[in-house]
Structure 1
Amino acid sequence: MLSSLTNLGLSENNLTGVIPDSFGNLSKLTTIYLHTNRLSGSFLQEFGIVSSLSDLKLSFYNFVGIIFASIGTLTKITYFRLFTNKLSDLISFEQNNFTQLKEFHIFGNQFTGHLPENVCSGGLLENFTAYDNYFIGSMPKSLRNCTSLNRVRLNGNQLIGNMGESFGIYPRLTYMELSYNKLYGELSANWGQCQNLASLKISNNDISGRLPLELGEASQLQVLILSSNKIHGKIPKELGKLKFLLGLYLDGNKFSGQVPYNFEMLSNLEQLNLANNNLSGLIPNLGKCKKLFLLNLSNNHLSKYIPLQIGNFQFLQNLDLSKNFLMGEIPQQLGDLKTLETLNLSHNALSGSIPSSFDKLLSLTSIDLSYNQLEGLIPNTKAFS
C-alpha cells in the first residue's frame, strides 16, 4: 500500500520466507536492498513490473528458479546484483534495453544458456561478474567495444570464442578473469594498450599462438596468469619491463627457449611459475627478485648448476626445480632459506651429499630429493624424519 515508496532497504537481517507478491505494486521503487537474509523461493516475476528500478540487490539468498523474461523491462536499472543464490535455467531478457547499466553481478548461481548479448548496449557498464555458473556460447558482442569496463570476472563457465576477436581496448580496465572456460585463438596485442590493467587471468583455456610482445606495454600489470593453455614460442623479454609485476604464471604451456635474462629486473616479483614447458638453458639469475616466495621451474629442460643466488631469497617458501637436467652439488646456500617450507629437487642429475646447512631449515615440512645421484648422510631435521 506504500504507493509513494522509492527506497526499500531490509538487508543484513534474519528475514525468512518469500518476498510478497505485492512488491510488484510498488510502482515508484528505484532501490531494493534485501541482500544477506534467509529468504527463499522462486525469483518473482513481479520485480519486472517495477520499471522504475535502478538499483536491485538480492544477493546471498536461497532463491531458486529462473529470472523471468520481464526483468528485461527494467530499462532504468543501473545496478543489478543477484549473486550467490541458487538461480538456474536460462536468463531470458525480453527486451535487453539495459542502456543505463553500470554493474551486472550474477555470479555464484546455476545459470545456463548464453550471457545477455547487449549487457553493454548503453556503453556505461563498469563491473560485470558472472563467474561460477554454467554459461555456454560466445562472449557478448557488446563487450568488445565497451570502453567503460573496469572489472570483469567470467571464469568458471563453459564460454567459447576467439580471444583475438572477442575483446577490444579498455582504457579503464583494471581486472579481467576468464579462466576455466573454452576460449581459443591467440591473445591480441590490444591487451598491451589497456594502460590501467592490473590483473589478467586466463588460465585453463585453449589459447594458442605466441604471447604478444605488446603485453609488456601494460605498464600497471601486477598479476599475469596464463597457466594451462597451448601458448608456444619464446617468453617475450618485454615482460621484464613490467616493474609492478607481483605474480607471473605461465606454467602448463609450450614455451621454449631460455627464460628472459631481464627477469631479474622484476624487483617486486613474489611468485614465478614457469613449470611444465619446454624451456632450456640455465636457471636465470633472479638476484634482484628479493621478494620471491614461490619459484617453480619444474618439468623443463634446464641444465647446468643451481645458482648460488637462490640462497639470497629470504622470503622463499616454495622452491621446485624438479624434472630438469640439473647437475653438480646442491649449494650450501640453500640452507640460508629460513622460511622455506617445500623443496623439490627430484629427477635431476645432482651429485654429492645433502648440504649440512639443511640442518638450519627449521620451517621445512616437505622435501623431495629422489632420482638423483646423492650420497652420504641424511640430515636429522623434522622434514627428513
Structure 2
Amino acid sequence: MVDPRETQIEAFFAAWNHDGKKVHEEIVAATENFDSKYCIGVRGNGSVYKTLLSTGQLVAVKRFHENDGIDHQQAFKSETSILPKVRHRNIIKLFGFCSHTRYSFLVYEFVELGSLVKILSDNLKAMELEWFKRVNTVKGLANAISYLHHECFPDIVHRDISSKNVLLDDECEAHISDFGSATTLDPDSSNWTPFAGTSVKEKIDVYSFGVFALESIMGEHPGDLISSLLSSPLHAVDVLLKDVLDQRLSPPKGQIADQVVSIAEIAFACVQQSPQSQPTMKQVSQKLSTPLQSLSVPFHMVTIKQLFGSPTWTS
C-alpha cells in the first residue's frame, strides 16, 4: 500500500524535474536560509534540519558543512549515488538533492521519533519503547542490512551502522540513514573470501549490527560488556541475561522473552572477533524471522555464558 505522503512528496520533486535552482530556492526558503531554529541534529559532515515544504509535507534536510574538502565531496557522492538505487521499507528515502556553490544538501523523508540513541537517552521515551517495539526495530534493521548485502548488485556495505544512524518512525520501524561512508563491492575484488559467501568488508556491518542489537535490549552501548566477554569469557559464567537488560523496563515475558534471548544470542555471534565465526546478515535475518521454540530454562535463569559463542550458525 502506497503511503499518500510519499506520493505527494515524490510528485513534488518530480515537478521540479531535478532543477537544481528550484530545489535550492525551495529549501532555502523553507528553512529561512538554514536558520538554527530548524536544526534537529548535527552529524560528522553536516547538520540536519526539519522543515515544511510548500506542499505541506515535513522533510529532513541534511546540509553538508562548508569547506569539508574531499570528505564532504565523497560523502555527498556516496549518498546521491547509492540511495536512489535502493528500495526498502527500513532504509531512509532520499527525495532530492542539490549541489550549489554555497550549499550542498539532501532532502529525506522525515522520520518521527529520531535516532535510537536519542530515544534511549531519555528515560520516558526509553520506557515507551517496550520490548516488542525493540524486537521489531532489531528485525527491521537486520532485514535492511541483509537487503544491502545480498539483494543489491553490486553489494552495498554501509560501514557506519549505529544507534545514531538508525531512525525510528512512529510505528517503531527502523530506518537506516547516513550513507556517506557507504561503498559498493566488486565481487571480483580481493575483498571477497570463500567463507559463507560474503566479504570481509560486509562483516563491518555484521559486527555493528551486533552492537546495535545489544544496545537496543540493554538500553546503553554494550562496549564494556563486549570487551569483558572477549578478553575473559569465563567471567560470563554466572552473569544473568536479565541483569544486563534495560532495567527501566519490566523483564520480558512469554514469546517476547524468547525473542529477546534469540536477539542476544545472535548479537553475541555477530561481535565475535573472527569474521569466520560471524554469521552473514542473510542468516541473521532468516533466523530472526523463524518461529522460536520455548526456552529450555526459565528466562530468569538464562546466563550470558549460555548465549555467548554458542554454535548457532552453519554456512
Please indicate the TM-score interval, normalised by the length of the shorter structure: under 0.3
| Greater helix proportion | 2
Alignment TM-score, normalising by the size of structure 1: 0.23
